[in-house]
Amino acid sequence: MFHKEIFRNKTRLITIPLRGTAAMTILVMYPVGSRYETPDMNGASHFIEHLMFKGTSKRPRPIDVSRALDSLGAEYNAFTGKDSTGYYVKASGEKLAGAAELLHDMLYHSLFAPEELEREKGVVIEEINMYKDNPSSMVEEYFEELMFPHHPLGKYIGGTEEVIRKMTRDKIIAYRDRFYVPQNAVVVIAGNIQKNALKEVKKMFAVSEPAKKFIKIGYEKCHVHGKRPVKNRLVVKWKETDQAHLELGFPGLKLGDARHPALTILNAIVGGSMSSRLFDVVREQKGLAYMIHSGVNPYQDVGTFTVSAGLNKTRTEEAIKAIKEELARLIAEPVKADEMARTKDYVIGKTILQMEESSFWAGWYAKQVALLNEHESPEEKMKKLKKVTAGDVQRLAKLIFDFSAMHIALVGPYKERTQFLKLL
């Protein structure tokens, strides 16, 4: 099912033909994101994501690009993370050649016209402002800034208004030309792949001129100093809200760690579903939250395990104590067989449902190939999930849930943080 080809210009092409679907997804990913940016270019990867849609030599106006994409009857967008950036089109398999041509045109022939660039600065800044007004989004940013101080991983992906306004076209193009080159691209096509269209796609991406002096750019390595003084593991941001917004977490596992199957099960038990422990205790039994869930964030060299919640602002301390008690219980007591079986069925069932979508397959392989140069299949991952034992989960809980390394970010109507320091 999985096929990998490397063109002479070093672009990697991954194809995953799927039966039983009329749709396909083409995704182009680059292993570059905000962690690769210098302070004066913080936000550049995200800004470039916007600019790729603002006109090409063939389609000089933004409306020309959007009309061409809409004419495919497609879903299309882009995303920027801290370690990767992706551009995708999902459409009928019959539209593959057209979708690929549009993506190729945007990625390698965008104009970055001065007037569009200056206009788009305002759009990006308003996007930044939108997230700033959303405490449930910003608490995640405050947490990563707390976890990764003085490191690019702790910076906001979108950058700041001050930095965005000062970015020049020359610097943005230099950044683009450094990373968005054929040698750094992974092209993934999943779904209904028609042979004639695939031939056209190969011609397009194989003939793109490679960068003449491309050097694989590294990133600043990060080490999480978990056991830091208590005062350095808490941030409280005052905001007049009706609800407290919490992000509580620990150093986790990096990408590619062999213990990720056990981490997937642990995460599902903690807060990955409506029958998870935190959902049951904090929401259903105690009525302290509407939203509560856990998550993992793996990067190439570090990772985090987090619990996110929107809490009753008058009972925040009670909620944090309840969360800690449930995490401590996973350290002290092995998970019972029925809960292990139920959790595995949930995780595997969710994966099978996702496998119905071509976009899932494209994203699955793109990130693996771009960041790890690996290609483990969903089926292989599910086999590993089935082998996870209660002992594996308990050992990982003991490793991760080290309360002397716990960090807390909190947004709400709190002007003092003394009451929360004692919870660390």
- Which residues, 6 or more positions from 228, have their beta carbon under 8 angstroms from its beta carbon? 405
Decide if 137 contacts 131 (C-beta within 8 A): yes
Task: Catalytic residue, from 5, 37, 49, 101: name it.
Answer: 49
Q: Name the region of 146 (left: φ>0; alpha: ψ -120 to 50; beta: rest).
A: alpha
Look up 49 and say whether it is catalytic.
Answer: yes
Residue whose pair of structure tokens reads 């397959």 in the numeric block: 361
CA distance 364 to 244: 34
Tell me phi and psi for residue 176, to 5 degrees: -60, -50
In whole angstroms, give the CA distance from residue 294 to residue 63.
40
Which one, of 379, 382, 38, 87, lies nearest residue 220 by Cα?
Answer: 38
Compute the CA torsion angle 359, 365, 369, 373 (nearest 10 deg).
170
Helix count (H) and strand count (E) of the chain?
16, 11
Q: Phi first, then psi: what are they for 47, rounded to 5°?
A: -65, -45
CA–CA distance, 67 with 168 (Å, rounded to integer): 28
Q: How far apart are CA 281 and CA 289, in angstroms?
A: 10
How many other CB atoms are found less than 10 A from the CB of residue 403? Answer: 12
- Extract the tokens encoding 100: 């690929």
Which residues belong to the active site? Answer: 49
